[in-house]
Amino acid sequence: MKCKDSIKDLKEYKPSSLPFNIKLDANEGRSNILKDEFYFKDDFKFNFYPDSESSQLRKEIGKYLGVKESKIVAGNGSSEMIDLIMKAFVDKDDKILTFVPTFSMYYVYSKIYSANLIGVESEEDFSVDIDKLIEKEKEIDPKVIIICNPNNPTGYQISVGNIKKILEKTESLVVVDEAYIEFTKGSMINELKNYNNLVILRTFSKAFSLAGIRLGYMIANEDIIDIINKVKSPYNLNSITQYIGIRRLEKKDNLGKYIKEVKKERERVYEELKSMNFKVYKSSANFIFFKSDIKNLSKNMAKKGILIRGFSDDLKNHYRVSIGEKEENDSFIEYIKGII
């Protein structure tokens, strides 16, 4: 069977399915605040379709952010949000501009919508030069600019001022993926009132530690939200996810404590890796990016039940390790100490 041209060479995105004792390869959170809850009370009706607009959930998200719910769309992870943005705004052969390396799903969705993802290379230390992006923007006139901030997999964070510099210079849609923003400061939320072309993506998969329920959302001005709602499937978010999302937000007060723990562990793992002479990059997220010339590091580690993320091609010999519980991080560090 012949598929459409744009995805002929696209490979299926297959997350690791290796068995594990310690999982540090996908940046999932550890704040199991809901684990002892009995979620489904009598008033929970499985026979009815879910609320197609996720109204109550969006109201709670709005309260958490200090944003009107009319500026929010919720769905199956920020992955669905990226899909919806492309579905609504990107035509065949349009250009999408980003920094590279970055989150690989931007490339996948660009392909699916027959668009051209153009990457501005990061500097040698994986910081980025905003002026280079602005220059490229002038040259190619992209339909969408997508910025992952803090960036996955490098952990590098761009300042609010520098993102504003981009917004001042472009009329393209500027999407800022803030999947890891809870682990740092510098959200673009307060800039929504100043820019009609700004879209912010958020997720429950990381700091909120609910990757398993698939819940993400976007925040933008109503003009953009209205367009997104035209292409969103009805009932895109199931009742169980909406319900758990609301319950999680009721307990958002624990977030600060968890984030503090992650940051403390992040600095500890950073220092440990540095003391072993790896090239380690400062991270604003819940993972650390590093370079190691040890052969097959992630493969051999996986044989011992510890999963970290390895990369290929331009990022050969680079790895990303999530910050887990203290004991998990210890096991990772002990493993590496044992082989060097």
Ligand X SMILES: *Cc1c(COP(=O)(O)O)cnc(C)c1O
Task: Using CB under 6 A, list all residues that contact ligand X.
Answer: 27, 77-79, 103, 148, 152, 177, 179, 203, 205-206, 211, 216
For the CB of residue 148, give the shortest distance to ligand X in the complex, in Å: 5
For the CB of residue 204, give the shortest distance to ligand X in the complex, in Å: 7
Cis peptide bond prior to 15, omega within 30° of 0? no
| DSSP states of 130-190 | HHHHHHHHHHH--SEEEEESSPTTT-----HHHHHHHHHH--SEEEEE-TTGGGSS--SGG
Shorter beta-carbon distance to ligand X: residue 209 or 272: 209
Shorter beta-carbon distance to ligand X: residue 98 or 336: 98
CA–CA gap between residue 28 and residue 285 (Å, rounded):
11
For the CB of residue 146, give the shortest distance to ligand X in the complex, in Å: 10
In the chain, how long is the greatest CA-to-CA distance?
58
For the CB of residue 44, give the shortest distance to ligand X in the complex, in Å: 24
CA–CA gap between residue 244 and residue 213 (Å, rounded):
8
For the CB of residue 98, give the shortest distance to ligand X in the complex, in Å: 11
Shorter beta-carbon distance to ligand X: residue 15 or 234: 15
Nearest to 73 by CA among 193, 169, 200: 200
CA–CA gap between residue 150 and residue 182 (Å, rounded):
10
3 state SS of 267: helix
For the CB of residue 103, give the shortest distance to ligand X in the complex, in Å: 4
CA–CA gap between residue 287 and residue 74 (Å, rounded):
25
Give the count of beta carbons closer than 10 Å to the beta carbon of residue 32.
10
For the CB of residue 268, give the shortest distance to ligand X in the complex, in Å: 22
For the CB of residue 177, give the shortest distance to ligand X in the complex, in Å: 5
Q: Which residue is nearest to ligand X (CB)?
A: 77
Residue recorded with tokens 């220092």: 271
Angle between helices 77-89 and 222-231 (to 10 degrees): 90
Shorter beta-carbon distance to ligand X: residue 212 or 256: 212
Shorter beta-carbon distance to ligand X: residue 163 or 179: 179
Shorter beta-carbon distance to ligand X: residue 77 or 336: 77
Shorter beta-carbon distance to ligand X: residue 154 or 292: 154
How many Å is the Cα radius of gyration of the chain?
20
User: What is the CA 155 to chain-centroid distance, rounded?
Assistant: 11
CA distances from 16 to 26, 82, 298, 302, 321 (A): 9, 22, 12, 10, 14
Nearest to 217 by CA among 202, 237, 233, 204: 202
For the CB of residue 179, give the shortest distance to ligand X in the complex, in Å: 4
Shorter beta-carbon distance to ligand X: residue 33 or 148: 148
Shorter beta-carbon distance to ligand X: residue 25 or 177: 177
